Amino acid sequence: MNHGRTERLIDQARAKFRLDLSDLVVYTEAATGYFSLTPIIAALSGAKKVIALGADSKYGSFLEAKRTIQELARIYGCERRIRIAKEKRKEEVSEADIVTNLGFVRPIDKTMIGWMKPTACIPLMWEPWEYREQDIDLNECVKKGIVVLGTDESSTLLRTFDFVGILAVKLLLELDIEILMSSILVVGGGIFAGATVETLKRLGANVGWLSMAEYGSRPKASCVDRKTPFWIDITPECNNFIRSADAIVIVEHQERGELFGLQGKCSFGDLARINRGIAIAHICGTVDENELRDSGLNYIPNEIRKGGYMSVSTAYVGPRPLIDLHTAGLRVGELLARARLDGKDIDEAKRVAITQGPGKDFKSTL
């Protein structure tokens, strides 16, 4: 990690989103890689205390995460504000003004919500449409009066979705697909796919767009004109495009049905028979990983996550997307927490976070 640049990016994000967590307690995760920066951002933003919950995972051990965060905190001079925990404890959760919905904090279930104080809030580090029931018990939050609000990733200050396109570029280059003059099929709907199509076209790729989801439609994207081939099913024209395509980018983050595989509309074996040289870059979307592996097609990453989760996050391109997103999410939390501590009701607290920050409610849809 380039500590000098990382500190500069954190400072820029804090200033951009006007994040000030003074007198507030933050409960978040202790993770590895760039995800280790979240408690650092909170501490550098003046949080009275940051409790970071960690665990062993496929991404790294608890001890690795703890050592990483402690070293970062020492470098940035905020070690006294951070406590790293391995167990979820009532006395610590009950202190928190802001509880993030990040990996090791989840699930935020009935028990955990019961420990939270009435003025606590849960800022989502993504847009509300990305919500998964297994992550947060929203009904229990309503019963307890805990305010939950998403983060507007389309904000001009944030531009998370633009980084999804950059992520596709990085994966394709790792597959030795040059992009310029390459034929690439983007599979997915919604803003993730739209941003990916837009980015690849700007770099000179011949792009086809396939959305097999029920909501399949051509989202608004400034660079995506009507000349871009667009299909909502694997038609003969789409098949012809696949025959000469260099790669497929799978980037479906809303629909949970299987896109490719033995239960999908097309198997990877079928793809291999149509075009044995086609490469697969998987960002998100339900596919049959075992069938993909058996097909002999070249693909990335090695481990494919199930629908609703990203196999590779935007943090893979560098620290800026994560720093900006998590700073924005903490800003949403700050505004919600201060509003609730000032006696405002849930609706008024949400209004404050949406009008004064990058908050986005569940009522907003793409």
Q: What is the pLDDT of residues 190-244, one digit of tens each?
A: 899 999 999 999 999 999 999 976 544 445 444 456 678 999 889 999 999 999 9
Q: Is residue 366 part of a domain?
A: no
pLDDT digit string, tens, across residues 297-343: 999 999 999 988 999 999 999 999 999 999 999 999 999 999 999 99
- 349, 206: one domain: no
- 168, 273: one domain: yes
Where would I find the H helices in 254-301?
268-274, 289-295
pTM, whole model, 2 decimals? Answer: 0.92
For the chain, what is the domain count? 2
Kindly state the percentage of the chain with pLDDT values over 70.
95
CA distance 102 to 125: 7
State the SS3 of 92-130.
Answer: HHCCCCEECCCHHHCCECHHHHHHCCCCCEEECCCCHHH
- 298, 324: one domain: no
Q: Is residue 333 part of a domain?
A: yes
CB atoms within 10 A of CB 261: 19
Number of H helices, E strands in the chain: 13, 13
Tally of residues, the chain: 366
Q: Where in the sequence is the domain holding 212, given as residue range(s)?
A: 160-316
Q: Which of 297, 316, 335 is the last residue of a domain?
A: 316
pLDDT grade, residue 24 (50/70/90)?
very high
Which of the pair, 253 or 358, is modelled with greater confidence? 358
- 180, 262: one domain: yes
Q: Is residue 181 part of a domain?
A: yes
- 55, 71: one domain: yes
Q: Is residue 351 part of a domain?
A: yes
Q: Is residue 261 part of a domain?
A: yes
Question: Letter for the amino acid at 291?
Answer: E
- 138, 29: one domain: yes
Q: Which of 114-118, 127-131, 163-167, 308-312 has the lowest mean pLDDT?
A: 127-131
- 168, 278: one domain: yes
- 174, 287: one domain: yes
**Separation of CA 315 from chain center:** 9
Please report the pLDDT score of residue 255 as a whole number. Answer: 86
Nearest 5 degrees, angle CA 60-CA 64-CA 70? 140
Which of the pair, 51 or 220, is modelled with greater confidence? 51
- DSSP state at residue 158: T
Please report the pLDDT score of residue 222 as a whole number. Answer: 46
CB atoms within 10 A of CB 145: 13
Please report the pLDDT score of residue 227 as a whole number. Answer: 76
Q: Is residue 259 part of a domain?
A: yes
Q: Is residue 365 part of a domain?
A: no
Would the pLDDT of 364 be above 80?
A: no
- 237, 337: one domain: no
As a whole number, mean pLDDT of residues 280-286 equals 97
pLDDT digit string, tens, across residues 89-107: 999 999 999 999 999 999 9
Q: Is residue 119 part of a domain?
A: yes
- 164, 305: one domain: yes
- 98, 74: one domain: yes
- CATH at residue 329: 3.40.50.720
- 105, 171: one domain: no
CB 101 within 8 A of CB 125: yes
